[in-house]
Amino acid sequence: MAGLLCFHWVGFMKFAIALLAGPQDPAARSALEFARAVLSSGHQISHLFFYREAVHLASLLGVQPQDEQDITAEWRQFITEHRLDAVVCIAAALRRGVLDKAEAQRWERPAANTAAPWELSGLGQWVDALQSADRAVTFGT
């Protein structure tokens, strides 16, 4: 992982980052460290897109054991602190029971389990991100 943080780009770059890995996958941590390094290097993150198992990072219901780092809370804090656009794929989220208030009502479910800073939206957001970014990076499979 040390090599991941030792990158240097010439000039200002705008990144779009897609995460496909869930909270237990090391790729979720790698993506967060990469995103931190991007911003600390003076670059910009135009979009964060959470797909497949990564939609679980948007759930407010996950609880980590006390002796483990809470990657979900770290992502939430990072996104909020830097006011980033964090889009959760709505199709992947619905399949995995990750719902915001509007979707919980739409599908007549008893409760929502996600809220700001996460936004449920479609893959079109990722396509838009790819068109406006200088670089796109994906973590997970």
Q: Is 47's pLDDT higher than 70?
A: yes
* 6 inside domain: no
Instruction: Output the pLDDT for position 8.
Output: 54
Number of domains in the chain: 1
9 pLDDT band, cuts 50/70/90, is low
Q: Is residue 9 included in any domain, yes or no?
A: no
pLDDT exceeds cutoff 60 at 7 = no
Mean of pLDDT values over 116-126: 93
Q: What percent of the chain has pLDDT over 70?
A: 93
Residue 104 domain-assigned (yes or no): yes
Does 7 fall in a domain? Answer: no
The CATH number for 20's domain is: 3.40.1260.10
Residue 94 domain-assigned? yes
Q: Which domain holds residue 30?
A: 14-139
Do the domain assignments include residue 33? yes
Whether 4 has a pLDDT exceeding 60, the answer reads no
Model confidence pLDDT, tens digit, residues 70-120: 999 999 999 999 999 999 999 999 999 999 999 999 999 999 999 999 999
DSSP string covering the chain? -GGGG----SS--EEEEEE---TTSHHHHHHHHHHHHHHHTT-EEEEEEE-GGGGGGG-S-----TTS--HHHHHHHHHHHHT--EEEEHHHHHHTT---HHHHHHTT-S-----TTEEEE-THHHHHHHHH-SEEEEE--
The catalytic residues are 89
pLDDT of res. 65: 86
Structural domain includes residue 127? yes
Task: Tell whether 5 is covered by a domain.
Answer: no
The pTM for the full model equals 0.90
